[in-house]
Amino acid sequence: MCTTCGCEDHHHPAHPHPHPHPHPQPAGSLRRISLERSLLEKNDAFAAENRRLFREKGILALNLVSSPGSGKTSLLVATLERLAGQHPVAVVVGDQQTSLDADRIRAAGAPAIQINTGKGCHLDAHGVGHAVEHLEPRPGTLLFIENVGNLVCPAPFDLGERHKVVILSVTEGEDKPLKYPDLFAAAELMLLNKVDLLPHLEFDVDACLGYALEVNPRLEVIRTSARSGEGVDAWIAWILAQSAALAD
């Protein structure tokens, strides 16, 4: 079991490089605190190596995080379809089981590697690094890391990404930024997704944005919909601006 987030050992069937997690100790144990620190330190070391590789190759790595059902994969597919033929892309997909999302992404024309975490609730830098080795992205690639659907566990795990992007669907509660502040505080951009459904919902957009900015005053927000296409061009413009900034 992961002592940081409470999930059980992670598994990467497509990339068999197991890294056993320490077993939890009784509450208040100094040993448990030490193991948690050790786990994150090891992850951060792998993340630093990933970041070095991305920097050397001019790769923009984006860590996309959301709760399940936010429309993250649909939005990513729409993004890849718009970028097709204009920019090299690659995708690392995290899910507990199945390769369904990776199959959808490959069908959109993008190379993708699936990482199945089993009972694990987040991706880690070690697994992402091995996935990127298999993808062999070209210099200047836009690398999208679609994390496991979860607003809690991915927050403290650095994957070596340039930016964290949190996706919040309007079918969820507008108070999610207050309930799960660590992730929203760590993100540079929030995509408020499925906005085409707003006429059919009682979702207070202003309250949601107020809560998000209360947690993170520097957070940028783009309203998006994969179904209607709203905001997708603005999202892509943001991506390309971040990619261009790598050269500065």
pLDDT (tens digit, 9 = 90+) per residue, 183-237?
999 999 999 999 999 999 999 999 999 999 999 999 999 999 999 999 999 999 9
pLDDT in tens, 69-122: 999 999 999 999 999 989 999 999 998 888 899 999 999 999 999 999 887 789
Query: Hey, how many other C-beta atoms are within 10 angstroms of the C-beta on 18?
Result: 12
Say which amino acid occupies 230. E
Q: Residue 24: pLDDT above 90?
A: no
Q: At 172, is the pLDDT very low, low, confident or very high (cuts 50, 70, 90)? A: very high
What is the torsion angle, in degrees rounded to the nearest 10, for the CA atoms of residue 35, residue 37, residue 43 and residue 46? Answer: -110
Contact 210, 179 (CB under 8 A): no
Q: Beta partners for 10?
A: 118
Mean pLDDT is lowest, of 14-23, 33-42, 63-72, 78-87, for: 14-23
CATH code: domain 30-245 is: 3.40.50.300
What residue spans define the domains of the chain?
30-245
pTM attached to this predicted model: 0.85
**And the tokens for 32?**
């448990």
* Angle in degrees, CA 180, 68, 96, rounded to 5: 110
Q: For all residues of the chain together, what is the average pLDDT?
A: 89
User: Residue 118 to residues 94, 122, 208: CA-CA distances in angstroms?
Assistant: 10, 10, 32
| Separation CA 143–CA 124 (nearest Å) | 15
